[in-house]
Amino acid sequence: MRNPGGIMACMLRRLVALLSVLSLLLWVATAVLWARSWRIYDRCEVGFATQTRWPSRGYLLGVESSGRRLRVTATFYADHEETPLDDRDDIPRWLFRASQSHDTQYPLELDHGDRGDLRRRGYASESQTMYGPRSIIAWTTLILPHWFVVIVTLPLPLLYASRIVHRRLPRCPGLCRSCGYDLQGNVSGICPECGTPIA
């Protein structure tokens, strides 16, 4: 029978590894967009629409980069129009669009006015909901400077890399090679802390 604590520790390690990789990818993407934002306006949108149940729903995530700032917009809509499903073939299930322009003067501002005192430092946010006769559209917009995202996404990959380096360093005899737990007097053959087999 496997140690439940060992299984949980293994799952936690894999989750931290996955989050570290995603954080590193986000860091690289933000650094590239930051370098490009001095000369190029970039925009990318990813969306998903469901048309299998009423009301039909759609989700859209858009990222824009220009002038050393990022604008991230998450949009949700629900369509209550009672149209047969056969007439809704024009609604894509997945959507991906990317574009760029050399017009660096494109301002990344909020659509309905900025809120808060942090606008002068490059931060802004807003949430809006619009109700139509047969639809609802809600969106949240967040504007951040590139450097803020770069600083926030870097520590987790660095900590994970330092853990890998620390794990590869030679350990004192009698300690678990995975977590460093003192195994003196242990006769079970596995580490009681993390479940790693004792070599």
Annotate 54-110 with three-state secondary structure. CCEEEEEEEEEEECCEEEEEEEEEEECCCCCHHHHCCCCCEEEEEEEECCCCCCCCC
pLDDT attached to residue 85:
47
Q: Is the pLDDT of residue 127 over 90?
A: no
Q: Is the pLDDT of residue 169 over 80?
A: no
pLDDT attached to residue 115:
47
Which conformational region is residue 36 in: left (phi greater than 0), alpha (psi within -120 to 50 degrees), or beta?
alpha
DSSP state of 193: T
Of 93-107, 122-136, 163-177, the range with the highest mean pLDDT is 122-136
Tens digit of each residue's pLDDT (9 = 90 or more) over 82-118: 554 444 454 557 777 787 887 655 556 555 444 444 5
Q: Is the pLDDT of residue 70 over 80?
A: yes
pLDDT attached to residue 1:
44
Record the tokens describing residue 65, joined without a space. 């980069």
pLDDT attached to residue 25:
93
Contact 95, 60 (CB under 8 A): yes
CA 52 from centroid of its chain's CA atoms:
27
What is the rounded CA–CA span in Å between residue 73 and residue 33? 16
DSSP 18-61: HHHHHHHHHHHHHHHHHHHTTT-EEEEEEEEEE-SSSSEEEEEE
DSSP 1-18: ---HHHHHHHHHHHHHHH
Average pLDDT over residues 132-152: 86
Tens digit of each residue's pLDDT (9 = 90 or more) over 4-61: 566 777 788 888 889 999 999 999 999 998 988 888 888 888 888 776 555 577 888 9
pLDDT attached to residue 114:
46
What is the rounded CA–CA span in Å between residue 9 and residue 27? 26
pTM of the model: 0.64
pLDDT attached to residue 176:
80
In sequence order, the β-bridge partners of residue 141 are: 73, 126
pLDDT attached to residue 2:
53
Give percent of the chain with pLDDT exceeding 90: 9
Instruction: Tell me the Cα Rg of the chain.
Output: 24
In sequence order, the β-bridge partners of residue 139 are: 75, 128
Record the tokens describing residue 180, joined without a space. 């460093």
